[in-house]
């Protein structure tokens, strides 16, 4: 069952107010990454504490929150499409309150207001704690836009409503100090700010007492966690230390994290992963391109050789490691030779999974101004199709190699498409379908009997 998690009293930014919207219902639509999904959990937690309960659709809600993303153009298009649909809903129900938050609201506050004047509240990524006050203002005084440029409260200081009682995200860091030319995140999330390790450990301990057995540590670049902190004025915590501390908490069976950066990934983190039983042998290791020339234009900070060496180090250190990656096709100036180099790395690295994207120019990034070097759409599409075909083949081969093996999986509940089948996940992050009724949070051992490109099929042992 969904749960509302309250922060420790010492971490709250201000006293909890009395519920004012008892009986009302809310609906949240989330675009984008795990950070946004975690922010939506915090918004849901605030709504529930104000007396609201979840609705099943836009139409049935008194309050709608749209959590936006601006990483790629299609996310913007989908967001504005949703706001267009919501205008029709709001015309039929003028009392419905519509809130737009997230990265697109942080970056394009005026544009959101211009394109969707029917929105009641526009707010950014740094003031989640203000959502109820902003709703109050909009109800009594009319539409309001409040976007601040500095973090007002760590997400961890706010209540959360989790959809999976056994699994939780834990924010360890917000913001990013990198200058990747294709990325808008530093503009909308700000500079890196790390949480104190003690606060993180206490949150995980509290989650464990609430029944959580799996946590995912969240940061834009977890490998640089703690560089902005000083402990006792002498040293800075490092991510490997944090992994060990969280992994040693009794009752926490699985620890995952996202996302690391190849330029900052070090052996101490790999050793912490290998030596801490609870830390899963799963690593997301974004490549983006296999061409040194393109990587330099992206400002990634590493070259092809460094990437391959650090990936090899991780695999040598962590037995049974599964690796996923990100790849951008068609970055400005990418030639056929550049793309061939990417394909060579894909063949050599043999990723378990790849998130593959066509380059999308985001206003406000350096890459968006490289218009003279834009690659023709038809060229990008042909390259993208080849990459997808190659990666699907590799994923299928790696999954097929697991047939006949046994693994411990954790149920996430019934499959949405086939309720008679449980969707479970291995320690390496692979989806394993198991026929039968296995409630969310159930551990079971299975034998893999068949495999496809994107999932496995298991039978209970």
- Over residues 351-366, mean pLDDT: 91
DSSP 238-263: -HHHHHHHHHTSTT--EEEEE---TT
Phi, psi of 16 (to 5 degrees): -75, 135
pLDDT at 191: 84
Q: Which structural domains are found in the chain, ordered by start?
A: 15-146 (3.40.50.280), 162-400 (3.80.30.20), 406-460 (2.40.50.140)
Q: How confident is the model at residue 230 (pLDDT cuts 50, 70, 90)?
A: low
User: How many angstroms separate the CA atoms of 191 and 189, rounded?
Assistant: 7
62-112 pLDDT per residue, tens: 999 999 887 666 666 777 888 888 898 999 999 999 999 988 888 888 888
pLDDT at 75: 64
User: How many angstroms separate the CA atoms of 184 and 394, rounded?
Assistant: 31
425-444 pLDDT per residue, tens: 999 999 999 999 999 999 99
pLDDT at 227: 87
Q: Is the pLDDT of residue 18 over 80?
A: no
- Over residues 280-309, mean pLDDT: 97
pLDDT at 85: 86
What would the 3-class secondary structure string for 114-156 be?
HHCCCCCEEECCCCHHHHHHHHHHHHHHCCEEECCCCCCCCHH
Q: In terms of pTM, does the model score above 0.75?
A: yes
- Look at the chain and count its residues: 461
135-173 pLDDT per residue, tens: 999 998 999 898 877 766 666 666 677 777 899 989 999
Structure tokens at 268: 């101490």
User: How many angstroms separate the CA atoms of 414 and 424, rounded?
Assistant: 9
User: How many angstroms separate the CA atoms of 170 and 175, rounded?
Assistant: 15
């Amino acid at each position: 069952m969904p749960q509302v998690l309250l922060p420790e009293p010492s971490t709250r930014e201000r006293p909890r107010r009395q519920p004012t919207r008892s009986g009302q219902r809310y609906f949240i639509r989330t675009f984008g990454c795990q950070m946004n999904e975690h922010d939506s959990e915090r918004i849901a937690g605030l709504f529930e504490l104000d007396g609201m309960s979840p609705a099943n659709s836009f139409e049935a809600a008194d309050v709608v929150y749209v959590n936006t993303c601006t990483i790629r153009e299609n996310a913007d298009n989908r967001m504005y499409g949703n706001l267009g649909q919501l205008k029709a809903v709001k015309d039929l129900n003028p009392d419905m309150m519509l809130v737009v938050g997230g990265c697109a609201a942080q970056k394009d506050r005026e544009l959101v207001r211009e394109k969707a004047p029917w929105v009641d509240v526009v707010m950014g990524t740094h003031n989640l704690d203000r959502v109820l006050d902003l709703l109050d203002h909009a109800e009594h005084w009319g539409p309001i836009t409040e976007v601040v440029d500095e973090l007002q409260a760590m997400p961890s200081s706010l209540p959360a409503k989790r959809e999976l009682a056994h699994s939780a995200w834990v924010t360890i860091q917000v913001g990013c100090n990198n200058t990747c030319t294709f990325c808008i995140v530093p503009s909308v999330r700000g500079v890196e700010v790390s949480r104190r390790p003690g606060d993180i450990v206490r949150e995980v301990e509290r989650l464990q007492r609430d029944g959580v057995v799996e946590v995912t540590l969240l940061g834009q670049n977890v490998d640089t966690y703690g560089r902005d902190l000083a402990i006792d004025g002498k040293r800075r915590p490092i991510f490997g230390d944090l992994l060990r501390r969280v992994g040693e908490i009794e009752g926490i069976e699985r620890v995952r994290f996202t996302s690391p950066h190849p330029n900052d990934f070090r052996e101490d983190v790999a050793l912490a992963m290998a030596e801490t039983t609870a830390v899963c042998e799963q690593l997301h290791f974004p490549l983006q391109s296999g061409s040194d020339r393109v990587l330099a234009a992206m400002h990634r900070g590493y070259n092809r050789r460094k990437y391959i060496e650090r990936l090899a180090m991780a695999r040598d250190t962590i037995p049974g490691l599964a690796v996923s990656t990100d790849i951008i096709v068609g970055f400005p100036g990418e030639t056929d030779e550049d793309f061939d180099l990417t394909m060579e790395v894909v063949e050599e690295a043999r990723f378990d999974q790849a998130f593959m994207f066509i380059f999308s120019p985001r206003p406000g990034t350096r890459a968006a101004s490289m218009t003279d070097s834009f690659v023709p759409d038809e060229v990008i599409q042909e390259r993208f199709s080849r990459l997808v075909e190659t990666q699907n083949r590799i994923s299928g081969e790696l999954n097929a190699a697991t047939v006949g093996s046994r693994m411990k999986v954790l149920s996430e509940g019934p499959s949405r498409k086939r309720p008679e089948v449980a969707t479970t996940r291995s320690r390496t992050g692979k989806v394993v379908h198991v026929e039968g009724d296995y409630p969310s949070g159930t551990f079971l051992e299975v034998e893999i009997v068949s495999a496809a490109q994107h999932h496995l099929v298991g039978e209970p042992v």
